[in-house]
Amino acid sequence: MKDGWTITDDPLTIRVGKRKLFADLGAERVLSAEKGTRKIAVEVKTFRRVSTIEDLQDAVGQFVVYRDLLAETDSEREAYVAVPDETLDGIFTEEIGKILLRRGSIRVFGYDIAKETITKWLP
């Protein structure tokens, strides 16, 4: 919210057939009068397991499911995974993270836990 986003759903329900999935947040922000509103679905991940690779695999899998379902059910909304700054500056600066970002396998942004602010967006 400190970055100009309005939380619209907490959690965001994604309905597909008789199934319901729940992303952590739905948010939107007005870009300008001409450009309209940007809408996102956010899954917050802490990356606190012993294995960062397992955390990464789970985050990518969940991102792909939400991205693909939103493309069919709510095409104006983009999927993102929110991760703590140390994760963004860790695994996503390594070659494995760079490849996943470059190929569009995941879109992430970093946040400062203490300040509750978004710090950096990656594709």
| Backbone phi and psi for residue 59, each to the nearest 5 degrees, phi listed first | -65, -45
Higher pLDDT, 8 or 30: 8
Could you report the per-residue pLDDT of 65-114, keeping only the tens digit for each?
999 999 999 999 999 999 999 999 999 999 999 999 999 999 999 999 89
Residue 33 has pLDDT above 60, yes or no: no
CA distance 77 to 102: 20
**How far is 65 from 23, CA to CA, in rounded Å?**
10
For position 30, what pLDDT does the model report? 79
pLDDT band at residue 24 under the 50/70/90 scheme: very high
What value does the mean pLDDT of the chain take? 92
Q: How far is CA 54 from the centre of its chain?
A: 17
CATH level 3 topology of 6-121 = Trna Endonuclease; Chain: A, domain 1 (3.40.1350)
Domains of the chain, residue spans = 6-121
Dist. CA 24–CA 76, nearest whole Å: 17
